[in-house]
Amino acid sequence: MAERVCARPGSKKYAPVSILFYNFFLTTINFTIAPGSFQPPPQVYSSFISLIKRETPIFVLKDENRFKSFLNTSFGQRRKKLSNNLKALNFPQILIEQALKITEIDGNLRPEQVTLKQFVKLFNQLQ
């Protein structure tokens, strides 16, 4: 989970939670903790992360719940292209294509290749 929270675009761990945390916090994985450090020991390594709250979010979202839903749909099937995942939003295909063109996002990208800024622009365009 720590890797997902701290992931950046292009990483296989990049996910909606990465984007949401990045908007509000500076995130860093500080160190890893071995299972033997706990009783009973878990079957996974743990990570200690730091979250430094930004004075203001990078983007102020008018409807944060809809944005979360939009991100979850965008990442619905990670190996699919973003344009294919967006079909699940039930917008007409032409509207999706126009929004991608206006926001200058290549619809052939996978969701883990799209930045926070691009997702916000696309979300706002589709609203």
pLDDT digits (tens, 9 = 90+) for 17-48: 999 999 999 999 999 999 999 999 999 999 99
121 with 72, same domain? yes
Q: Is residue 58 part of a domain?
A: no
75 with 122, same domain? yes
Q: Round to whole Å and give the CA distance between 121 and 37.
A: 44
**Whether pLDDT at 116 is above 90:** yes
**Whether pLDDT at 77 is above 90:** no
Range of the domain at 47: 2-53
Question: Is 67 exposed, middle or buried (CB count within 10 Å of its CB: 0-12, 13-18, 19+)?
Answer: buried
Q: Show Cβ contacts of residue 49 under 8 Å, excluding neighbours closer than 6 positions.
A: 2, 5, 6, 27, 28, 29, 30
- Write down the pLDDT at residue 127: 84
- As a whole number, the mean pLDDT across the chain is 93
- Write down the pLDDT at residue 93: 87
85 with 104, same domain? yes
Chain mean position to CA 40: 33
